[in-house]
């Protein structure tokens, strides 16, 4: 199973209160990076847990992600980090240190 799928499985498997608190404590940019490649069902799952204010910020950030090229390896690292963040014993800090858009070498 790929890392984004593992993240969404972690959200589904965690107790609702834990998943919600961990998602609310997650940097918008990190979540948006993974949500930008999510299917409609997975996107709806996460957006239903985060509340209206964070949902609005995430939707705006996902729209911005359309203009950012992230390598598959970067998305995998972010999704892996978020999986551990949601399912681990304690929350982790932001995964943004992995957020390095691919360079345009044209």
**What are the tens digits of pLDDT across the range 65-82?**
888 888 888 889 899 999
Cα Rg for the chain, rounded, in angstroms? 13
Is residue 38 included in any domain, yes or no? Answer: yes
Is residue 49 included in any domain, yes or no? Answer: yes
Is residue 70 included in any domain, yes or no? Answer: yes
Sort 92 into a burial class: Cβ within 10 Å, 0-12 / 13-18 / 19+: middle
Is residue 103 included in any domain, yes or no? Answer: no
- From the centroid of its chain, how far is CA 56? 15
- Per-residue pLDDT band for 91 (boundaries 50, 70, 90) equals low
Sign of CA dihedral 53, 69, 76, 80: negative
Half-sphere exposure of 27 (CA within 13 A, CB side): 15
Q: Is 60 helix (H, G, I), strand (E, B) or coil?
A: helix
Is residue 104 included in any domain, yes or no? Answer: no
Distance from C-alpha of 74 to C-alpha of 33, rounded to nearest angstrom? 9
Mean pLDDT of the chain: 86
Is residue 10 included in any domain, yes or no? Answer: yes
Write down the pLDDT at residue 104: 52
Locus of tokens 């969404």: 8
Question: Residue 68: which domain range?
Answer: 3-98
The domain total for the chain is 1
Is residue 56 included in any domain, yes or no? Answer: yes
């Amino acid at each position: 199973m790929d890392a984004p799928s593992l993240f969404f499985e972690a959200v589904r498997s965690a107790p609702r209160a834990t998943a919600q608190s961990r998602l609310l404590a997650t940097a918008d940019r990190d979540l948006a990076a993974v949500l930008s490649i999510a299917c409609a069902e997975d996107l709806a799952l996460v957006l239903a847990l985060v509340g209206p204010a964070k949902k609005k910020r995430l939707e705006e950030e996902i729209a911005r992600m359309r203009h950012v090229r992230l390598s598959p390896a970067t998305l995998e690292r972010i999704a892996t980090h978020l999986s551990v963040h949601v399912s681990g014993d304690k929350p982790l800090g932001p995964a943004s240190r992995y957020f390095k858009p691919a360079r345009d070498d044209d």
